[in-house]
Amino acid sequence: MLLRSLLACLAALTLSAAQDAPPRYAAGQVWEYHNRPQDAGSLLRIQRIERQQDQWVFHISLSRLCVAGQPGGMTLPHAPISREALDASVTRLAADQAAMADVDFATGIAVWREDQGGVFTIPADQIADLVEQSAGPGC
């Protein structure tokens, strides 16, 4: 009887942990995503995953964004995004996981924490639109 109760408790804890964890995603993964036509070849990297209050926050970077004054494109080093927005963005894991250069995302996360910043609930291509609106169009 005691063994059965213990097993039931362990099963419940395992199920609860599995529901909380983001099994599809891992820090360091590089993904192809629904990018804008002008951002051909742009990739998304999951830099860090953390739980904040009642949601998962995915700290991502976007490479090769076409914006003004950046020949060859620029990299957005940090954008915090929700699970739902990430799900709506990514299409498949990049064949070459080393295709995206490492960037300093830690500074962005530190500023985000200090400012108690929010989390994007829009897909990555719309985040790229916001970057372009700030910097200006063109590569």
Domain boundaries, the chain: 26-135
Taking only the tens place, the pLDDT of each residue in 50-91 is 999 899 999 999 999 998 878 878 999 999 999 999 999 999
| Burial of 28: CB neighbours in 10 Å, binned 0-12, 13-18, 19+ | exposed
Strand 30-33, strand 90-93: pairing: antiparallel
The pTM of this model reads 0.81
Residue 39 per-residue DSSP state? G
Residue range 6-24: mean pLDDT, rounded: 47
Q: Are 46 and 26 in contact (CB under 8 A)?
A: yes
Which of 11-20, 29-38, 84-93, 94-103 bottoms out in mean pLDDT, i.e. has the lowest? Answer: 11-20
Q: Are 75 and 101 in contact (CB under 8 A)?
A: yes
pLDDT at residue 2 tops 50: no
Q: Are 52 and 113 in contact (CB under 8 A)?
A: no
CA 114 – CA 61 distance, rounded (Å): 19
pLDDT at residue 14 tops 60: no
Q: Considering the chain, what is the average pLDDT of its residues?
A: 86
